[in-house]
Amino acid sequence: MLALSNKIGFFCILYLAFVLIVKFMKKIITVVGARPQFVKAAVVSRAFQKSNQVEELIIHTGQHFDQNMSAIFFEEMEIPQPHFNLKINGLGHGAMTGQMLEGIEKIILQEKPDAVLVYGDTNSTLAGALAAVKIHVPVAHVEAGLRSFNMRMPEEVNRILTDRISNWLFCPTETAIANLKMEGYTDQTAKICNVGDVMYDAALFYAAHSENRATVAKQFTGPPFVLCTLHRAENTDDPANLERIIAALNEINKHMPIVLPLHPRTKKIIEKNNMKAEFTIIEPVGYFDMIELLKNCRLVMTDSGGLQKEAYFFHKHCITLREQTEWVELVQNGYNELTGANTELILKAFEGIAKRTTDFSKALYGDGKAGEHIVNALIA
């Protein structure tokens, strides 16, 4: 009888411990809609799991329909599967954001989270933040404070509005914090934290696995080459800009081979306008292949925001085919040069940067533990 009583007591203690853990666990809804956001969210999800103090539910708005985001993508990248998929894509900005807002709000009302976590600057980011703040659920914004100072970019509008209604502003750099302070933000209006860049965490984590999981990149381990990407509408949808960039790439390719993973849509635009590309064009590649291409290339040319940083993570110089960048510290420290779509400026930048040697030891984007810093702030 005593033994039975002891067992009952033991299980009662276990049950009470379970109840207390559940009671004091925070429930957080994460909203993502684009492939890069899943990679960023995976960093924080791993930190949530490690803390054992957070129940996370993931909403995929469906904003970017990407065939590469298959079950294999989630498995290989060790990314949690979304709990909800709104499947909203292929619409204009207003319709897309409005439908996302409606769908996300329903889930928030159903699940009653302690906070909603959003990433970056997409329509999904803004919809998630708006849905939460309108029903008085706190908002946490990862990659807060970034500015291109170009209000013609939808991303700039999204990030500014999201920052304005967020309760936690998780900044990747001191520049981002300075931007917020310049706009009048203080710790009294929102909790401002320089946590570092979650993409640095991701780069460190996935670089350890990329060599065994990459396929396409194995073709490009020989002579030095330039890794180029081109996808922003300001370049791909403007035939004059696109032609100037391709002219520069053709000339550079005579001196150093260029490898350009290119979306089929942009490839069709090039063909439609009878532009002749004399460099190597390949199909879009997955994240592991992109890491291996970054490891093996001599330098990077891109109009992508994320790839500018990833070039730095892997100690490569970068030429940015845009007029502005959110990552101004890369330019200020000599890792990056802005050229826009100007053929002469691109060629001049290549001539100088291809010979440059630079110290990459500066910790511009944190200590590689941004995920942990974010979780610690949320559960404090």
User: What is the β-pairing status of strands 226-228 and 139-142?
Assistant: unpaired
More confident position, 30 or 1: 30
Q: How much is the pLDDT for 187?
A: 78
Name the amino acid, one letter, at 45: S
pLDDT at 222 over 90: no
What pLDDT band is residue 45 in, cutting at 50, 70 and 90?
Answer: very high
235-273 pLDDT tens trace: 999 999 999 999 999 999 999 999 999 988 899 999 999
Q: Which tokens go with 24?
A: 């004091």
Q: How much is the pLDDT for 19?
A: 46
Beta bridge mates, 261: 282
Least confident of 51-55, 66-70, 128-132: 66-70
- Rounded mean pLDDT of 139-150? 94
Chain centre to alpha carbon of residue 374: 15
Q: How much is the pLDDT for 9?
A: 61
pLDDT at 23 over 80: no
Least confident of 66-70, 186-190, 198-202, 245-249: 66-70
More confident position, 132 or 64: 132
Q: Are 147 and 156 in contact (CB under 8 A)?
A: yes
- Rounded mean pLDDT of 292-320? 95
Name the amino acid, one letter, at 237: D
What pLDDT band is residue 4 in, cutting at 50, 70 and 90?
Answer: low
What pLDDT band is residue 6 in, cutting at 50, 70 and 90?
Answer: low
Residue among 379, 53, 42, 376 nearest 195 (CA): 376
Residue among 94, 97, 39 nearest 63 (CA): 97
Question: How far apart are the C-alpha atoms of 362 and 173, rounded to whole Å?
Answer: 12
pLDDT at 140 over 90: yes
More confident position, 165 or 74: 165
pLDDT at 298 over 50: yes
- Rounded mean pLDDT of 352-373? 91
Q: Which tokens go with 216?
A: 């396409």
Looking up tokens 């070039």 gives 311
User: What is the β-pairing status of strands 226-228 and 258-261?
Assistant: parallel
User: What is the β-pairing status of strands 115-119 and 84-85?
Assistant: unpaired
What pLDDT band is residue 21 in, cutting at 50, 70 and 90?
Answer: very low
* Three-class DSSP labels, the chain: CHHHHHHHHHHHHHHHHHHHHHHHCEEEEEEECCHHHHHHHHHHHHHHHHHCCEEEEEEECCCCCCCCCCHHHHHHCCCCCCCEECCCCCCCHHHHHHHHHHHHHHHHHHHCCCEEEEECCCHHHHHHHHHHHHCCCCEEEECCCCCCCCCCCHHHHHHHHHHHCCCEEEECCHHHHHHHHHCCCCCCCCEEEECCCHHHHHHHHHHHHHHHHCCHHHHCCCCCCEEECCCCHHHHCCHHHHHHHHHHHHHHHCCCCEEEECCHHHHHHHHHCCCCCCCEEECCCCHHHHHHHHHHCCEEEECCHHHHHHHHHCCCEEEECCCCCCCHHHHHCCCEEECCCCHHHHHHHHHHHCCCCCCCCCCCCCCCCHHHHHHHHHHC
pLDDT at 11 over 90: no
What pLDDT band is residue 228 in, cutting at 50, 70 and 90?
Answer: very high
pLDDT at 114 over 90: yes
Question: How far apart are the C-alpha atoms of 61 and 302, rounded to whole Å?
Answer: 27
Residues of the chain with pLDDT > 90, as a percent, come to 76
Looking up tokens 């520049």 gives 175
Q: Are 288 and 206 in contact (CB under 8 A)?
A: yes
pLDDT at 1 over 60: no
pLDDT at 354 over 90: no
Q: How much is the pLDDT for 188?
A: 81
Residue 302 sits at φ, ψ, to 5 deg, of -160, 160
Residue among 140, 59, 67 nearest 100 (CA): 59
Domains of the chain, start order: 23-197+366-379 (3.40.50.2000), 205-353 (3.40.50.2000)
The whole-model pTM stands at 0.85
Beta bridge mates, 317: 299
What pLDDT band is residue 20 in, cutting at 50, 70 and 90?
Answer: very low
pLDDT at 174 over 90: yes
Active site residues: 231
Q: CA 170, 173, 179, 181 torsion: positive or negative?
A: positive
What's the chain's average pLDDT? 91
